[in-house]
A = this chain, B = another copy of it.
Amino acid sequence: MTATGPTMIQALIFDVFGTCVDWRNSVAREVAAVLPQVDALAFATAWRAEYDPAMARIRDGARGYVPLDDLHLENLDTVCRAFGVTLEAPDRLNAAWEKLEPWPDVVGGLQLLRQERIIAPCSNGSIALMTRLARYAGLPWDCILGAELARDYKPQAAVYRVSCAALRLPPDQVMMVAAHNDDLLAARAAGLRTAFVPRLTEHGPDQATDLEPTGDWDIVAKDFADLAHQVAGHG
């Protein structure tokens, strides 16, 4: 680490879906409860597959900012039609995204990190979604940052920059933590420091992406406990 290393980091901001929480099994659990006739894991994966295309139109400017809750609801309709099912209360299943289980190392790691530094999500989820998810999963955030503040979606630079500005910190004093190399690439381009924490089963047992760091990120940690250790400068 250089002189601008971990001792300069005032805040850590986190990708959430995949990095902090296991969306796939958690959403599948909620799907199974209301649609027992479908393959719940396949349904969850199909729902998530609509996520990026829905945001792309907003990033491109073809559509104004719409919170992720609403995109999730639109996408749920798409996926229900693809699976040939109808839902009486789509809003209720849509709340599955507020009930995601954290990976086992997350809550303890965040508690350690929070002792000395500000921690916050920098997610594409809305303030409402991130707030309810934090209550469900016990994520001890200091505040909620991310897409809704910028009214745009990652990996647009504005999302990272607006999040740092909301903390009144220069980007090089803020570290973005993610299990996704493309998120870190965009964060670094926006001037942030970067930490990669792989989540090898986010997409299931046959995951083929983000198994390893593809950039020379400031930190590569095996889990959030290791991250806390390295950020504290003892690693």
Residues of A within 8 A of B (CB): 67, 69, 118, 120, 126-128, 130-132, 134-135, 141-145, 148-149, 166-169
Q: Which residue of B lies closest to A132 (CB)?
A: B118
Contact B167 A128 (CB under 8 A): yes
Residues of chain B with a CB closer than 8 A to A135's CB = 118, 142
Contact B118 A166 (CB under 8 A): no
Contact of A127 among B69, B128, B167 (CB under 8 A): B167
22 A-B pairs with C-beta separation under 8 A: A67-B168, A118-B131, A118-B132, A118-B135, A120-B131, A126-B166, A127-B143, A127-B145, A127-B166, A127-B167, A128-B166, A128-B167, A128-B168, A128-B169, A131-B143, A131-B167, A134-B142, A134-B143, A141-B143, A143-B144, A144-B144, A148-B166
Contact of A131 among B127, B132, B142, B148 (CB under 8 A): B142
Contact B168 A126 (CB under 8 A): yes
Residues of chain B with a CB closer than 8 A to A149's CB = 149
Known A134-B143, A141-B143, A144-B144; 5 more pairs at CB < 8 Å: A118-B135, A127-B166, A128-B169, A143-B143, A148-B166
Number of copies: 2
CB distance from A72 to the nearest CB of B (A): 12
Contact A143 B130 (CB under 8 A): yes
CB distance from A95 to the nearest CB of B (A): 11
CB distance from A146 to the nearest CB of B (A): 11
Q: How far is the CA of A131 from the CA of B168 in the complex (A)?
A: 11
Q: Which residue of B lies closest to A69 (CB)?
A: B168
CB distance from A114 to the nearest CB of B (A): 8
Residues of chain B with a CB closer than 8 A to A144's CB = 143-144
CB distance from A168 to the nearest CB of B (A): 4
Q: How far is the CA of A135 from the CA of B118 in the complex (A)?
A: 8
- Residue from A126, A131, A148 having most chain B Cβ neighbours under 10 A: A131
CB distance from A67 to the nearest CB of B (A): 8
